[in-house]
Amino acid sequence: MKWLLALITICLASTASLAQSTAATPEQTLQQQIAQARSLSEKHAYAEAAAILEKFSADPQITATPEWTNELYNLACYQALAG
């Protein structure tokens, strides 16, 4: 019985570890959303592109990334183009 509990514990621990290792970093999340925003801007859907980046402007993990400065500029451009 003890070996069964130990096996279950090991399985649960490795599942939790796997879930943590596959979680996207803030940089990866931002890169995915940047690609989506750029795709929308190429289709002249500036308001939608701005909306994607706006939701990140309050996230301190995202705004601390080196890419954010450039994307903040792009956000301002999308907002201006959206009117």
Residue in 71, 50, 59 with CA at minimum distance from that of residue 25: 59
Residue 64 has what pLDDT?
A: 87
- Cα distance between residue 25 and residue 67, in whole Å: 13
- Distant-in-sequence, close-in-space partners of 36: CB < 8 Å, separation ≥ 6: 52
pLDDT at 6 over 80: no
Sequence letter at residue 82? A
Task: Record the tokens describing residue 8, joined without a space.
Answer: 């279950």
- Cα distance between residue 43 and residue 75, in whole Å: 16
- For the chain, the structural domain boundaries read 24-82
Q: What is the pLDDT of residues 19-78, one digit of tens each?
A: 455 678 888 888 898 999 999 999 999 999 999 999 888 888 888 888 888 999 999 999
- Distant-in-sequence, close-in-space partners of 40: CB < 8 Å, separation ≥ 6: 46, 48, 49, 52
